[in-house]
Amino acid sequence: MDKEYIAERYKQIQDGICQALEHLDGKASFAEELWTRAGGGGGRTRIIQNGAVIEKGGVNFSAVHGVLPDAVRRAFQVDEQDFFATGVSIVLHPGNPFVPIIHMNIRYFELNDEVRWFGGGIDLTPHYIRKDEATYFHRQLKDICDRYDTSFYPEFKAFADRYFYIKHREETRGIGGIFYDRLTPAKTSLSWEQIFDFSCDLGNGFVPMYAELVNRNRDRQFTEAHKQWQYLRRGRYVEFNLVYDAGTKFGLETNGRIESILMSLPPHAGWAYDFNPEPDSEEAMTLSWLKQGVDWLAQ
């Protein structure tokens, strides 16, 4: 299993997800832009906009290589200069406030035969949190994890809770999911091939679990007040991605393509000064769940 094979499989996952999302949306299609990186490699940016379900979304593939910038080398605590990185990154912003935002990333990074790893995860950001949907989402992720190692879900779920946290707001970005980084055989009971299969299963499981949540909510009626709340929650999403997200920072540090890096941002977002929802409202209930350590499978 070499890096070219990994990149090719990830391209196939991108193709399958795009086809399935077009079918799920039923109106919009992806526009593709091929790009090359000056330092080496390139990718396929695919954007879908103004659909029946998806207001804006991206399903991106990249495979880049070259000299690792000093800032990234120091952050990774490595001495090697040359790197290779490939992966699929997805963010979908729906139009209906009752359909959640979703993000997925599966990736592989390599310096040499000794220094390489897999990373990624899936997390969900509902504008309105419903416990039954949160439980469904986490159950699907646990099922995928358990096929490989029963320690994965609790470990990766806790990592997601820590990672997808907006420190300056003291709230999580959403209901979390799973997140893992620098996964190698030395850290698991799995081979390189099994870790790669795990990442591919996450990729292939993305559309079925999201389609279930979309179809539960796509026809729900909403008001202008619901939309304004959606814009506020999108604003929190923007804050996290621009201030804390490691993928955004890596893309900028390695001179990645700006449009592809920032495709995760919503088409419209809002900020209100010192907004406080009405007590016992749907909005207040959602805020009460935005904390680390919630056991969604026990709800």
3-state class of 1 per DSSP? coil
Q: Decide: residue 190, CB within 10 A, 0-12 exposed, 13-18 middle, 19+ buried.
A: middle
296 with 135: CB under 8 angstroms? yes
The radius of gyration of the chain's CA atoms, rounded to the nearest angstrom, is: 19
* Cα 228 from Cα 234, distance rounded (Å): 10
112, burial (CB in 10 Å: exposed 0-12, middle 13-18, buried 19+): exposed
| Cα gap 71→92, rounded to integer Å | 30
- Residue 103: active-site member: yes
> How distant, in Å, are the alpha carbons of 108, 131, 156, 176, 296 from that of 142?
22, 16, 10, 13, 11
> Which one from 65, 93, 103, 268 is the annotated catalytic residue?
103
Q: Assess contact for 23 and 1: CB atoms under 8 A.
A: no
Active site residues per annotation: 103
